[in-house]
Chain A
């Protein structure tokens, strides 16, 4: 690293808060109370929705049976439902999937349970074939079996537990890493931002009653990664500026740091959003919810890296002393509660 740049800063004659080194400084932190309000509303809304509606867990987590078939011409959903009802499949949910010829049939969990209970040696026939047989007997059309998924209830339950545990574990490890690399207060900020993002994405899925399946869980973990990425870039700059910029309040330093990284934050969000949009539009029905979760997550993540992480640093009275390297940093760690 060249020293000339450091000297440059030291020679900066006076600090104009609105114009730091020729860059416009946005007063992000002035609005932090409003941001807190927005976050609070979103969080409370999410939690209420999660409490009231819960998550509409997909097949991966609940267990159950899904059969996707394709007709040659758009069929009537009501008829399919009654055809299945007539064949003894009570409580089948029939919905369109992607196009008006694609039909997704969800059978109640009991069907999967029954199948799972059947000993493998007895070698039962396949539920998918059975459903197609029923539907074919009512139409002259060719019906194509696109996909069958049967998940036993115990598998689903395990996945749900593992998923939740994995998420908590991820948050824990990240907190630890950030605490070592930065400082404890930063790790609180980072984890708070992550929790904020995850809860809001979950709330979004709960509120709009979107299917929460394994790919969405993967997307949320990717959101954790992304939001973290953002938060770390911002934290990195805040740390740098705390050590470098003299005669400025914590709030001013954070504003300067956020303004400096704003360009990058936006650029990366835009390129990521671009590819997610491509995935959302062209990626097909199977990963629709996956791309939705990521888009919401990237949006919220961008916002939270500016407002949540930074404003928590302020709330925890971050100061120059917290960041004086490197002996001090180690001493700080020992004091960690």
Chain B
């Protein structure tokens, strides 16, 4: 009695080994490191880059462990976390502004472990330090603007369709057109039905037949919102990359919010500036041959190949419109299947564009891409020391120069481009501006020292809580206490292993969840052991008492844990950030503890008592 078949032991051993394997990377403290990558993706990072960065460190007298080349970036491991900032400065000064130098942590996990997909748990901002922003995208603004453009378009269509209107206005999220006669109104209705699939006609208030009220379909509103948010996400990602943060997070949250998390960043003001910057596209006419120098400017092409082939372009100083006016840019195909870039402007942008292009057909128009960048300048301060100060500047380069075929309006296209080029240019055209204004609705900054303190207090409470429970269980349940304690320790390892495997983020409330799990995980064992004690008291022989104790406690444990799991899942779905971390650890802890407390403890107890003649249980 009370013997497990060999396969059960093997299964348990496999699961435990698996837990240890995936928890193991957390034992390898990462090296502080600096990461060098190109300011633009075109820049190749190679041996030479690495060599010059290492040279810069040697010159500055900073010791380092070694460098390695990654996917288009170079990583140099340092000995001391204190060296990180000086190292960043030294490399940045030496490499100048074509490269972005970011602080990073380099994994020290042995290769064979990483090959198995084992990684350290990522630390939440409250443990790692850094900045968290929650931004709200004003999607109503996008929908409103879209209605305005549709209304302008509708006026033209109504005129063309001989449906003379008194007024066409945007009121309460709807386009309202008013007419003098019912016939005109009904002509307008049929025009709207035919021409605008995205609009739906609603009954006007009070049944006024002289009024036509059209609203955007729900799915159209959703499409516009999604477009705006995805656009803003792309723009934000581009901007965040400029900050040189090692592992930034830019994610949509809920319907109209975007979370930006920048681990390791302390300068919030700078981060806010970069995230919030805007307007970096300009449309200008190509300067005429005989234009005065004071009226024209020379720009290089952004694409190096183009630059070599055509050697830059002279554009007029006058800006037709800037990126703010661009509401969309997509790659499309003409009737012959050749790629083209379809560009949408807002109403005002369309007017300006029309005014500037109708008398300039045949000339070329250039699109400038403007990047706001930071360069480090060496200056000498009063003490005669050379200091490096960051300086912001704008870089303007041509991304497109094409002949105007006819007067351009709100919608136009750029033809004669290669498919790949079209993709890239469309992306750049979009990247210029935010599709919708954004507001900071939440901002959290955690200093690095607070992060380190949080880790320390978290680890301390886990240790102390664990030791207290271990001692307590040993005193109360003796031999069975040992079994429960081993199970508890294994549970902790499994919990960490599963969290690492799933790439869960560890937060301070998450650590609190681990602590709580330690306290509650023994519950299953307590239930089983009390049951065994009871069965002994009922006069059952030791072996049957063990068996019956485990059996009878099982359903109770199951019920109790499932309900707790339900609560944890609800907590996960309503919680945000750190609280989610708590729910995650709690849920995983419940599952792993059920395994260790039921199967793990049973295996150990079976090994100790199973298949022997036992007179007395040490419980």
Contact = CB atoms under 8 A, between A and B. Distances in A.
Interface of A: 1-2, 4-5, 8, 21-23, 68, 70, 115-129, 144-152, 154-155, 159, 162-163, 165-166, 169-170, 173-174, 177-178, 181, 214-215, 217-218, 221-222, 224-226, 228-229, 232-233, 236-237, 260-261, 263-264, 267-268, 270-279, 281-284, 286-287, 290-291, 294
A115 B526 contact: no
A168 to B, nearest CB: 10
Interface stretch (B326-334, B379-387, B409-417, B459-467): B459-467
A163 B574 contact: yes
Contacts of B277: 121, 123
B444 A236 contact: no
Nearest to A158: B254
B294 to A, nearest CB: 32
A214 B559 contact: no
The listed residue with most A CB atoms (<10 A of its CB), out of B275, B461, B508, is: B461
A173 B574 CA distance: 15
Nearest to B577: A214
Contact of B465 (A215, A221, A237, A279): A279
A125 B434 CA distance: 20
B445 A148 contact: yes
A21 B519 contact: no
A89 B512 CA distance: 35
A215 B575 CA distance: 9
B570 A170 contact: yes
Q: Interface majority SS on A: helix, strand, loop or mixed?
A: helix
Nearest to B132: A149
B450 A122 contact: no
Interface of B: 126, 134-136, 266, 268-269, 272-278, 434, 437-447, 449-450, 453-454, 457-458, 460-461, 464-466, 468-469, 472-473, 476, 508-509, 512, 515-516, 518-520, 522-523, 526-527, 530, 533-535, 537-540, 544, 547-548, 551-552, 555-556, 559-564, 566-568, 570-571, 573-576, 578-579, 582-583, 586
A225 B457 CA distance: 25
Given A128-B445, A236-B560, A275-B469, 11 more contacts: A121-B277, A126-B443, A150-B443, A173-B570, A215-B579, A229-B561, A264-B523, A270-B472, A277-B468, A279-B515, A287-B509
Given A268-B523, A271-B469, A125 B269 contact: yes
Given A128-B268, A267-B530, A282-B460, A8 B538 contact: yes
Contacts of A232: 556, 559-560, 563
A278 B447 contact: no
Contact of B461 (A70, A229, A283): A283
Nearest to B557: A233
29 contacts: A4-B544, A23-B537, A70-B449, A118-B439, A126-B445, A144-B447, A147-B444, A150-B444, A159-B576, A162-B574, A166-B570, A215-B578, A221-B570, A228-B567, A229-B520, A229-B523, A229-B563, A233-B527, A264-B530, A271-B472, A274-B468, A277-B465, A278-B464, A278-B465, A278-B468, A279-B461, A279-B516, A281-B464, A287-B508
Given A155-B134, A225-B564, A278-B468, A2 B547 contact: yes
A233 B469 CA distance: 21
Contacts of A122: 276
A119 B461 CA distance: 42
Contacts of B540: 4-5, 8
Contacts of B520: 226, 229, 268, 271-272
A281 to B, nearest CB: 8
Contacts, number: 277
B574 A165 contact: yes
The listed residue with most A CB atoms (<10 A of its CB), out of B274, B520, B527, B563, is: B563
In the A-B complex, list the 6 residue pairs whose CB atoms are closest, starting with the nearest: A275-B465, A123-B276, A152-B441, A275-B519, A166-B574, A126-B268
A236 B457 CA distance: 38
Contacts of B575: 214, 217-218
Contacts of B136: 152, 154
A116 B268 contact: no
A270 B446 CA distance: 34
A170 B523 CA distance: 22
A129 B518 contact: no
B564 A120 contact: no
Contacts of B266: 145
A155 B522 contact: no
The listed residue with most B CB atoms (<10 A of its CB), out of A115, A118, A225, is: A225
Nearest to A178: B563
A123 B564 contact: no
